[in-house]
Amino acid sequence: MSTFQQADPRDRPARLTVGVVGAGRVGPALAASLQLAGHRPVAVSGVSDASRRRAAQLLPDVPLVPPAEVLERAELVLLTVPDDALPGLVEGLAATRAVRPGQLLVHTSGRYGTRVLDPARRAGALPLALHPAMTFTGTPVDVQRLAGCPFGVTAPEELRLAAEALVIEMGGEPEWIAEEMRPLYHAALALGANHLVTLVAQAMELLRTAGVGAPDRMLGPLLGAALDNALRSGDAALTGPVARGDAGTVAAHVAELRRHSPQTVAGYLAMARATADRALAHGLLKPELAENLLEVLADGTGGAHGTGGAAGPEGTPGNTP
C-alpha cells in the first residue's frame, strides 16, 4: 500500500531568504510565519536582551547580526522598527550601500506607505508596506493570530501581486491603502485598539475600587457584546445614560469619578461628549433631553443635576450601562 507523503515546504520553487531588522514583537512572528510557508529566515538583528530572547524563541538557530549584514544575506528584508526610527534606518542603509538591486524591502509601519522607502528604491530595492492590523505579544501565539489577520498594504502597481502573495503566505488578508491615506488609516486603528486598552484598564480599576473581586469576568461578557453590536450596527448599538439623555446619572458619574479617580474624569467627559454628538446625529438622543446633558458635560462639575438613577424607555428602570 502506498502512502502519500506531503512535500516539504522548503522544496517549493521561488522560496526566499528572509532577514529581520528589528527583533521587536512583530518581526520574528512575521518571519516565523514566512518560514511555515517555505521561506528561509537567515539573519536577524536585535539590540535589547528582550529582542534577542524573542528572536531565539521564534527563530531558533537564525544568527543575530548587524543590520547591514541582514541585508547582505537576505533577498526579503523585514524592517520592523518603531515608526519614528524607520526613515533614519532606511536612509542609513541606503547611504552605506547595504541595499542591493532587486531586494524586497518590506516595512510594517502603519503610518507610512512606500514613500519612506524611496532612498532604498533609488538604490534598486523593491518597496512594500505591509502592516498587520493586529496586536502582538512577542510569543509564538502571534504566528497563530496571523491567520485571517487583515494587512494594510501599499505597494507600487508592478509589485501588487508580490505584496498580495506575501500577505497570503503569512496567513493574512490584504487590504489596499492608498499612500496618502496611510496616516488616517493608522489613526483609525490606534483610536480603536490602543484607546480600547486604556478604557478597559480604567474600567477594571474603577470596579476594583467599587469592591468587585473579578472585574475582568464582570466586564468580559458586557464588552464582548458591546464590541459585537458596534461592529454589526455602528451607532445604532449605542446604549447607556448618555444615549438616553440621563443627565442626572451622568452628573453622578462625574462626581464619583472626581472623588475616587480624578485622572479618569477628562477621558470620561471627552468620550461622553463624542457619544452625545453621535447619538444626536443618529436620532437616538432626543434634543429636548440633550440640553441638560450637554450642560453637565460642558460644566464637568458632576453636581448640577442630582444623582437620580437612569430611567429606561417608558419610565422603566434602565437595564443597560
Task: Give the mean pLDDT of 152-179.
Answer: 97
Domain 14-177 matching CATH 3.40.50.720: the answer reads yes
Q: Confidence band (pLDDT; 50, 70, 90) for 301?
A: low
As a whole number of Å, the CA-based R_g of the chain is 25
The answer to whether 136 and 193 are in contact (CB under 8 A) is no
d(CA 316, CA 281): 25
The answer to whether 264 and 199 are in contact (CB under 8 A) is no
Task: Give the mean pLDDT of 168-184.
Answer: 97
Task: Give the mean pLDDT of 55-74.
Answer: 95
How many other C-beta atoms can be found within 10 angstroms of the C-beta atom of residue 38? 17
Task: Give the mean pLDDT of 241-258.
Answer: 96
Average pLDDT of the chain? 89
Judged against a pLDDT cut of 70, whether residue 69 lies above it is answered with yes
Q: Confidence band (pLDDT; 50, 70, 90) for 51?
A: confident
Task: Give the mean pLDDT of 135-146.
Answer: 92
DSSP string for 139-161: STHHHHHTTT-EEEEE--GGGHH
The model carries a pTM of 0.83
d(CA 139, CA 137): 5
d(CA 12, CA 218): 49
Kindly list the distances between the CA atom of residue 153 and the CA atoms of 20, 87, 164, 181, 304, in Å, as whole numbers in the listed order: 19, 18, 8, 11, 50
Judged against a pLDDT cut of 70, whether residue 211 lies above it is answered with yes
> Around 48, how many Cα atoms within 13 Å sit in the side-chain half-sphere?
8
Q: Confidence band (pLDDT; 50, 70, 90) for 310?
A: very low
Q: Where are the domains of the chain?
A: 14-177, 185-310
The answer to whether 272 and 250 are in contact (CB under 8 A) is yes
d(CA 159, CA 142): 26
Judged against a pLDDT cut of 80, whether residue 116 lies above it is answered with yes
Task: Give the mean pLDDT of 169-181.
Answer: 97
- Give residues with Cβ within 8 angstroms of 72, minimum separation 6: 98, 100
C-alpha cell at 286: 432626543
Q: Confidence band (pLDDT; 50, 70, 90) for 318?
A: very low
> Does residue 308 or residue 182 have the better pLDDT?
182
- Specify the pLDDT at position 12: 43
17: left (phi over 0), alpha (psi -120 to 50) or beta: beta
Judged against a pLDDT cut of 50, whether residue 102 lies above it is answered with yes
d(CA 252, CA 245): 13
The answer to whether 123 and 138 are in contact (CB under 8 A) is no
- Specify the pLDDT at position 47: 84
Task: Give the mean pLDDT of 212-240.
Answer: 96
